[in-house]
A and B are shown apart, each in its own frame.
Chain A
C-alpha cells in the first residue's frame, strides 16, 4: 500500500530535550516536505527536499533541522524544542507530474512543556 508514515504519532516532551520525528514514504517520490499546522495559521511549510542530499528552508524553518540521506526518509529534528513548537506536524511526499499531488503522513501531535 502506498503511504507516508510518521513516528511518533503523539509526543509530550520538555523544553530543550532533543527529539526527532521520522517520516518515510514507499512511493519513490523525490520531493518531500514538512509542515506544521496551527489554529488560525493553517499549514506552513518548514523544510522541503527536492531529492537525496538536497534540502532547503520553507516559510518557518527556525528551530528545526532536516536531513535526506535516503530517498524514502526525511526526518525532522528539533535540537532544543521550545513551547512555541507545540503543534501538529505533517510530512508530505509529492508525486511529481502534471498535478503534483501531495500525500500526507498521519501527523504528529507534539506538545513541548
Chain B
C-alpha cells in the first residue's frame, strides 16, 4: 500500500534547529515535496527532492534517501512564524496522468520563545 509517516507533533525553541522526518512506502517514486501550512491557511510549497542528497534553501533544507524511503526537513534559526504544520508528499510515478501526490498527515511544529 501507499503510506507516508511523519511525527504528529514537535516542539522547539526560537533560534534552535529542528529536523522533521518523513518515511514513505509507495509503489513508485517520482519526487518528494515538503509544504508548510499555517493553521486555517493553504499549504505553500517549500522544497522538492527527486535525487538523493541535500537541497538547501535559506533557513530550510531538505534531504532525501530513496534507498531508505526517507526524507527530512531541516529548519534552522527557528522563528515564531515557523509554527505551522509541515506536510510531506510523494508523487507516485505510477499515477499515470494524474499528477496526484500522496500526502502525509503533517507534523505540527510549535516554536516557543
Instruction: Decide yes or no whether A74 CB sits under 8 A from chain B.
Output: no
- Whether B103 and A56, one on each chain, are in contact in the complex, defined by CB atoms closer than 8 angstroms, is no
How many residues on chain B are close to A (CB under 8 Å)? 23
Scan A44-62; emit 1 where CB is below 8 A from any B CB, else 0. Answer: 1100101000001011000
Q: Is A43's CB within 8 Å of the partner chain B?
A: yes
The residue of chain A having its C-beta at the shortest distance from the C-beta of B47 within the complex is A99
0/1 per residue, B68-98, Cβ < 8 Å to A?
A: 0000000000000000000101010000011
* Contact between chains at A31 and B42 (CB < 8 Å): no
Among A40, A41, A99, the residue within 8 A (CB) of B48 is A99
- Residues of chain A from 32 to 81 with CB closer than 8 A to chain B in the complex: 33, 40-45, 48, 50, 56, 58-59
Give the docked Cα–Cα distance between A113 and B86 (Å).
31
User: Closest residue of chain B to A59, judged by CB?
Assistant: B100
Q: B43 contacts the other chain (Cβ, under 8 Å)?
A: yes
Q: Given A42-B105, A100-B91, A90–B42 Cβ distance below 8 Å? A: yes
- Complexed CA–CA distance, A109 and B79 (Å): 28
Neighbouring B residues of A45 by C-beta, 8 Å:
98, 100
Is B99's CB under 8 angstroms from A96's CB? yes
Contact A102 B41 (CB under 8 A): no
The answer to whether A94 and B99 touch across the interface, beta carbons within 8 angstroms, is: yes
| CB <8 Å contact, B105 and A102 | no
Once A99-B31, A99-B48 are accepted as A-B contacts, the answer to whether A104 and B103 lie under 8 Å apart by CB is no
User: A residues engaging B (CB < 8 A)?
Assistant: 31, 33, 40-45, 48, 50, 56, 58-59, 90, 94, 96, 98-107, 109
